[in-house]
Structure 1
């Protein structure tokens, strides 16, 4: 079963994803968090600067090559990522490179998740990828968003992560303080991340009209996060049991699906 979370940076997606996986494991389910990106964190006053920058590029190049050339769907995943970038290209070249790499890795991880019997939770799935591209592009055209959301693979359950604007702003500033300066070259700036709140609001409206199975989770505080974790866990278990009964999650012998996105 595939569960994906979406929401603006700083909304608490990763925290919620790990809390969900932990509760599910405590209740006897096999659950894992699939993270598409792990930013570096400053370990002290020392900033390695250029060394970190080069290491990030080398690491990204190697991991991307593995995704393209080794898996059986590598070339297909490459095509998917390029089509999405062409539909909503980020403004800066370094943002385009980072987004392309992340979508490529997401496609590879999603293909593997479809063959698993476990509950796999993506803290950044295809809905998040579409929203991130729109924020980095600066033009959240609703028609383009509708087309992209209609063509990307759909999770078994989608979770919208909600946090107040002020809370998101505080979390983003704290994150930036922990990041090495070189790491920020790869990241969207504070203003872009804050504008993404409007992007994900539009996406939520589109999903609601489309009939997508979406559950909202509030993460403004530790208490609200714990309460939301309980509610979302129940929704996941109900969907998982239904899918298992229908045989939907016995997909290990079924062929991998392909993305239907064709661009504008």
Structure 2
């Protein structure tokens, strides 16, 4: 089962994803967070500067090459990522390189997740990637977003992480204060990130009209986060049990048909 989260930067997607996975594991289910990303933070007063910048680029280049040349679907995932980038190109070259690499790795991880029996949670899935592209482009209209959302793989569960605007602003400011200067070269600035609130509201409206079932999770306080985690977990477990029962029934029907063909 694939679960994906979306919401503005600073909304608490990663924290919520790990809390949800932990709760599912405590209740006996195999769950993990996939493609989780946390920005680098300063280590005291030390700033690694250029070293961090170069190391990140080298690491990204090596990992991306492995995905393109070695996995079976490397070529397909490469084409998918390039098509998404051409549809909504980010303004800055460094943003284009970063989001392209992210989508490529996301596609690879998603392909693997479809074959797994576990509950796999993407704190940044395809819906988030489309929102990020629109944010970094600055001019993506609703029609483009509708087309993009209708052409990407759909998760079994889509969760919108909701938090008040003032809290997003405060969290983003704290994040930027902790980031090394070299890390900021890869990230959008404060004003760009704050525009994501309207972008993801538009995306949520599009998904609702399209009929996709989206669950809202509130992370404005510890209490609301715990409550949302409980509610989302219950919905996931109910669906997980239903899917498992349906799968067992289908296998049973196939076995019965086989016995009917060959006799006792």
Indicate the RMSD between aligned Cα atoms, in angstroms. 1.2
Aligned residues of 1:5 and 1:161 also touching (Cα < 8 A): yes
Aligned residues of 1:91 and 1:136 also touching (Cα < 8 A): yes
Aligned to 2:184: 184
1:89 equivalent to 2:97? Answer: no
In structure 2, the residue corresponding to 1:139 is in which secondary structure? coil
Q: How far has the Cα of 1:243 moved from its partner? A: 1.6
Task: Give CA-to-partner distance per residue, 1:24-43, whole Å, 9 cap, x none.
Answer: 00000000001253422111
Q: Distance in 2 between matches of 1:133 and 1:108?
A: 19
Q: Distance in 1 between matches of 2:93 and 2:58?
A: 17
Worse-matched range after superposition: 37-46 or 133-142: 37-46
Q: Distance in 2 between matches of 1:44 and 1:160?
A: 34
In structure 1, the residue corresponding to 2:132 is in which secondary structure? helix
Q: Distance in 1 between matches of 2:49 and 2:152?
A: 37
Aligned to 2:240: 240
Max radius of gyration: which structure? Answer: 2
Q: Distance in 2 between matches of 1:50 and 1:17?
A: 32
Aligned to 2:18: 18
In structure 2, the residue corresponding to 1:209 is in which secondary structure? helix
Aligned to 2:119: 119
Aligned to 1:46: 46
1:163 equivalent to 2:157? Answer: no
Task: Give CA-to-partner distance per residue, 1:4-39, whole Å, 9 cap, x none.
Answer: 000000000001000100100000000000125342
Q: How far has the Cα of 1:239 moved from its partner? A: 1.4
Aligned residues of 1:36 and 1:102 also touching (Cα < 8 A): no
Q: How far has the Cα of 1:140 moved from its partner? A: 3.1
Aligned to 2:255: none
Aligned to 1:259: none
Q: Distance in 1 between matches of 2:228 and 2:38?
A: 24
Stretches of structure 2 that go unaligned for 5 or more consecutive residues are: 251-264
Task: Give CA-to-partner distance per residue, 1:181-203, whole Å, 9 cap, x none.
Answer: 00000001111110010000000
| TM-score with structure 1 setting the length | 0.92
Q: Distance in 2 between matches of 1:62 and 1:27?
A: 38
Q: Distance in 2 between matches of 1:44 and 1:52?
A: 15
Aligned to 1:255: none
| TM-score with structure 2 setting the length | 0.92
1:73 equivalent to 2:57? Answer: no
Q: Distance in 2 between matches of 1:207 and 1:245?
A: 28
Aligned to 2:258: none
Aligned to 1:143: 143
Worse-matched range after superposition: 106-115 or 32-41: 32-41
Q: Distance in 2 between matches of 1:62 and 1:89?
A: 23
Q: Distance in 2 between matches of 1:208 and 1:40?
A: 34
Q: Distance in 2 between matches of 1:235 and 1:181?
A: 41
Aligned to 1:131: 131
